[in-house]
Amino acid sequence: MKLRKTCLTAVIAGFIFFGFTAGFGFDFSELENAVSEHTLDNGLRILVMERHDAPVASFITFANVGGANDPKEYTGLAHMLEHMAFKGTTDIGTKDIDKELTLMKTEDSIFYELRAERKKGRQADTTRLAELKQAFADAIEAAGEYVEPNAFDHILETEGSVGLNAGTGMDMTIYMMSLPSNRLELWMAMESERFYKPVLREMYRERNVIAEERRQTLDNSPFGRTLDEMKASAFLAHPYGISIVGHMSDIQNYTRDAVKEHFKKYYVPTNLIVAVVGDVKSKEVFKLAEKYWSRIPYRPRPEELATIEPKQNGERRVELEDPAQPLFGACFHIPNSTHPDWPALQAMMDYLGQGRTSLLYENLVKEKKIAADVGAFAGYPGNKYPCLALIYAIPSAGHTNEECEEQIFTEIDKMKDELLPVEEVEKIKARAKASFINGLNSNMGLAMQLATFENKYGDWRELFKQLDRINTVTPEDIQRVAQEYFTKNNRTVAKLNTI
């Protein structure tokens, strides 16, 4: 028996009505018992939750690879591969695969020559550079003649897909969509095909798309640039300090061979998780998975990162100037999301700066009116490895970063010296519980969470222990993490000053 979506919504509404009393619990047994799991011989893990409310299903393919795994000189490669996954296969997206592959080899050959000449710097032959640039542009154009643009997306959209998308984080890459449940086999065939027989077509054109992304989100964004430089200052060793989109010079020098090698290393069945939630039968899902996903050969799961960020022993500061609105940011090193302190750290961030009732919003925005906006959250820029708690403020007109800084650090110091009232902590916990439960209120939300917890803990069942983790938080826990992590020596401060 499944817990229907409407019932879950009603339970959430009931929690709100009764004020989220400290003792409330939630029986996840029906949801947990609705989950089936299966591992193929090649190592692919498959999770299925049957929910027969409507004839639809949501699909997640979770790849345990993100920006933190990018190789040196090829930063942003995980993000690049996400783009490439929509370019089709040897059968989808081409007018003539043999001719296309031949022309793609020509592209690669010319680019290697062009890149080698560029690396000569001042000694490069300018005439030769111009010739190679033109030849490269011609080769891209020639290969493009055999491409059927957006063919992969078009097939799925024609068959009723909704929410066809993907996203790359520092810790993972996720591919998602929802389809009518009678298109289960279509999803199995196409999703497995793009990781079985991918064709990295239009790669050199797509580099330009990614370069433009970087310009918009970082190079031409004062806020983005400030936070990026703060992050880079906070992480001296760990790759969390490098932008997920990559350095511009790396983006412009991607080679197809480098992308292939990254794909072969990380897009292996042992490093993938498939989650399906909706109007499906588990046995049918597993049968189709054996038929389609088993075509991908076994390869060992890649090792996790060994780099550990050394302890920070002094405050670091970054200041930028720009004709833009000012911004203040401060970040503190904290453990990863499976650490026992994580729930208390999240509670502290909620109290400080999440929402219009948070301490900093009430103080800086409503009362003192020195800020137009404030925010705080844990898990920047990822949370698989030790990461950052980030607090920011946008000063209001006529006020300064320094005013915001003083007030923010004053409030943090108070949290170190004084216990939060028990009733305040209960409100924080109630919000966390509601947010968590609300995230399970859709097929897609459930599929995402199942895959995430399976990857994070190695066991999807940990998802249903989340409320227990939240319930354990006490005022003493919040005070302790404030004292331990929110110190001057453990922080990096960034300011964007208006000129």
The CATH code that applies to domain 316-498 is: 3.30.830.10
Please tell me the distance from the alpha carbon of residue 353 to that of residue 338, in angstroms, as a whole number.
Answer: 22
Question: What pLDDT does residue 463 have?
Answer: 95
Query: Among 13-27, 138-152, 271-285, 376-390, which stretch is predicted with the lowest mean pLDDT?
Result: 13-27
- Does residue 188 contact residue 288 with C-beta atoms inside 8 Å? yes
- Give phi and psi for 379, each to the nearest 5: 105, 40
238 pLDDT more than 60 = yes
Q: In what order do the strands lie in the sheet with 327-334?
A: 316-322, 491-498, 327-334, 387-395, 371-380
Determine the topology of domain 58-94+147-295 in CATH.
Cytochrome Bc1 Complex; Chain A, domain 1 (3.30.830)
- Render pLDDT for 204-231 as a digit per residue (tens, 0 to 9): 999 999 999 999 999 999 999 999 999 9
| 58-94+147-295 and 316-498: identical CATH topology | yes
Q: Which residue blocks in 37-125 are alpha helix, DSSP H?
A: 77-84, 97-118
9 pLDDT more than 70 = no
23 pLDDT more than 90 = no
CB burial string 451-482: b at 16+ within 10 A, e below: bbbbbbeeebeebbebbebbbebbbebbbebb
List, as one string, the DSSP characters of 218-267: IIT-HHHHHHHHHHHHH-SSSGGGS-TT--HHHHTT--HHHHHHHHHHHS
- Does residue 139 contact residue 103 with C-beta atoms inside 8 Å? yes
SS3 134: helix
Query: Among 23-32, 67-76, 309-318, which stretch is predicted with the lowest mean pLDDT?
Result: 23-32
Please tell me the distance from the alpha carbon of residue 290 to that of residue 361, in angstroms, as a whole number.
Answer: 52
User: pLDDT exceeding 90 applies to what percent of the chain?
Assistant: 92
Confidence of residue 475 (pLDDT cuts 50, 70, 90): very high
Count CB neighbours of 72 within 10 A: 8
243 pLDDT more than 60 = yes
11 pLDDT more than 60 = no
Confidence of residue 240 (pLDDT cuts 50, 70, 90): very high
Please tell me the distance from the alpha carbon of residue 322 to that of residue 379, in angstroms, as a whole number.
Answer: 27
Query: Among 7-11, 39-43, 139-143, 480-484, which stretch is predicted with the lowest mean pLDDT?
Result: 7-11
Average pLDDT over residues 16-35: 60
Question: What pLDDT does residue 26 have?
Answer: 64
19 pLDDT more than 90 = no
Question: What pLDDT does residue 28 have?
Answer: 81
Residue 50's beta-bridge partner residues?
278
- Listed as own residue / partner, the contacts of 107-116 with beta carbons closer than 8 Å and 24 or more positions apart are 107/136, 107/139, 107/140, 107/143, 107/204, 107/256, 108/255, 108/256, 108/257, 110/135, 110/136, 110/139, 111/136, 111/204, 111/255, 112/255, 115/253, 115/255
Average pLDDT over residues 113-131: 96
371 pLDDT more than 60 = yes
Every domain of the chain and the residues it spans: 58-94+147-295, 316-498
Token pair of 141, please? 């154009």
pTM of the model: 0.92
Question: What pLDDT does residue 4 have?
Answer: 30
Question: What pLDDT does residue 29 have?
Answer: 83
382 pLDDT more than 70 = yes
Question: What pLDDT does residue 31 have?
Answer: 85
Confidence of residue 173 (pLDDT cuts 50, 70, 90): very high
Cα–chain-centroid distance for residue 146?
Answer: 33
Average pLDDT, the chain: 93
